[in-house]
Amino acid sequence: MQLLENISLKPYNSFGINVESSLWVEVNSLEELQEALGNDKIRHGKIMILGGGSNILLTADFNGVVIKINILGKEILEETEKEVLVKTGAGENWHEFVLYALDQGWGGIENLSLIPGTVGAAPMQNIGAYGVEIREVFDHLTAVHRETGKAEKFDNRDCKFGYRESVFKNIYKEQYVITHVALRLTKKDHPINTSYGTISQVLEQNGIKDPTIRDVSNAVIGIRQSKLPDPEKIGNAGSFFKNPTIDKIDFEGLRAEFSSIPGYELPGDQVKIPAAWLIEQSGWKGIKRGNIGVHKKQALVLVNYGGGEGAELRDLALEIQKSVADRFGIVLTPEVNII
C-alpha cells in the first residue's frame, strides 16, 4: 500500500475540477482495502472513496485521504442454460463491462450502455437509463464496513433500491465500501426493452424490426452521444439533479398554468416531472457563464468548459434551484454528490 501526498484530483473527476487531496491511496483488492481502512494515518481522518469520479462535484481541496478503488476482475459464480451470475470487481469500468457482457451474449444491461463510472458505483445510486435500472439484474454485492473492516454481503432487498437511491446513500451513507457486484444476466430469450423515449424510433430509422441486445445498446449509445456531452471533451457529471416527484393534485394545478408541462404518472398518485424541462423553461438551457454553463442539448447537465471551479458550479446549481422553485414551487435535489 502506497500512501501519496498532495495529489491533483483533476484526472479523477469527470467535471475536471482541479483540486488536491492531501493523501491518496489506490487499492487493488478487498484485502488491500481492508489494510488501508485499518491504517492509523487513514482511519482517523476524512476518507473519500473514489470510483470513476463521474458523479461528484469537488468544491474545495480535500483534507483527508482519497481511496481509489481499482479492484478488477470478472468471475462466473453460477451458470445455467438460460442465465449467468457474474461477479465483477468494483473498479471495472461500467461501460466496458456492458460491452464485455454483450460480447458474451449476455443481456439485461444493454439499456445502460455508455453510462460513465465504475461497476462499484452503479448500485450505490441504482443507475438507470432508457427504461432500465440496475436493480432489475442486481443479485448481490460485497461491501467492506469502514469501521470494522468486515466484508459483508448485501442482496437485492438489503440494498433498498429506489430511484437513484440505495441504503448506501441513506442509512449506510459513508459506512461501507463496495468491492464486488454480482449481476444475473440472461443468456437467451433476452427481454428487450425499447419502451423509453426514442429507442424504438432510432431502431425503426435504422430498419431494425427485431432488435438484438447489441442493436439496443447501439441505439442507446447513439442517443446518449447525440444529447450528452462526452466528459473527455467537456467536463460534466451527467444529470446534475434528480427528476422531482410531486403529488398528482399539485401536478394538475401546475398544468392549469403551464399547459405543456410533461409528467409521468407513478403509483400512489404521484407524478414525475423532467427536471430538464423545468430548467429549460426557467431560461437556463445553453447559458454560458465564464468557463461553466448548462449544456445546450440537455438542460439537466451542468458543464465545465475547462478551468471552471467547483464552487462556481455549485453556485450556478443553487441559482437554478432557486429560479425553478420561484417559478414552479418545486425544489430540485442534486443527483451529484457535492463535496
Is the Cα torsion angle 256, 259, 261, 265 positive or negative in sign? positive
Q: Tell me which stretch binds ligand EPU (CB under 6 A): 8-16, 246-254, 297-305, 312-320.
A: 297-305
- In the list 46, 280, 325, 327, the residue contacting ligand EPU (rule: CB under 6 A) is 280
Candidate list 242, 263, 310, 317; residue touching ligand EPU; CB under 6 A = 242
Catalytic one among 164, 184, 224, 314?
A: 164
Sorted by sequence, the CB contacts under 8 Å of residue 90 that are 6+ apart come out as 51, 69, 71, 118, 119, 120, 121, 178, 179, 180, 181
164 is catalytic: yes
Binding characters for ligand EPU, 30-69, by CB under 6 A (x = yes): ----------------------------------------
Q: Is 335 a catalytic residue?
A: yes
| Distance in angstroms (rounded) separating the CA atoms of residues 211 and 200 | 9
Set of cell numbers at residue 275: 427536471
The burial class, CB within 10 Å (0-12 / 13-18 / 19+), for 269 is exposed
Q: Is residue 276 a contact point for ligand EPU (CB under 6 A)?
A: yes
The correct pick among 123, 238, 263, 310 for binding ligand EPU (CB under 6 A) is: 238
133 binds ligand EPU (CB under 6 A): no
- Of 277, 292, 312, 328, which lies in the binding site for ligand EPU, with binding defined by CB under 6 A? 277
Q: Is 328 left (phi over 0), alpha (psi -120 to 50) or beta?
A: alpha
Whose CA is closest to 285, among 299, 275, 304?
299
Q: Which residues contact 112 (CB under 8 A, 6 or more apart)?
A: 94, 98, 122, 127, 128, 129, 130, 132, 134, 220
If one asks whether residue 298 binds ligand EPU (CB under 6 A), the answer comes out as yes
- Count other C-beta atoms under 10 Å from residue 100's C-beta: 15
Q: Which of 45, 262, 283, 307 binds ligand EPU (CB under 6 A)?
A: 262
For ligand EPU (CB under 6 A), the number of binding residues is 19
- Residue 294 contacts ligand EPU per CB under 6 A: no
Q: Does 239 bind ligand EPU (CB under 6 A)?
A: yes
CB atoms within 10 A of CB 56: 23
Known catalytic membership, residue 239: yes
Catalogue the active-site residues.
164, 239, 335
Residues that bind ligand EPU (CB under 6 A): 129-130, 196-197, 227, 238-239, 242-243, 262, 274, 276-277, 280, 285, 298-300, 335
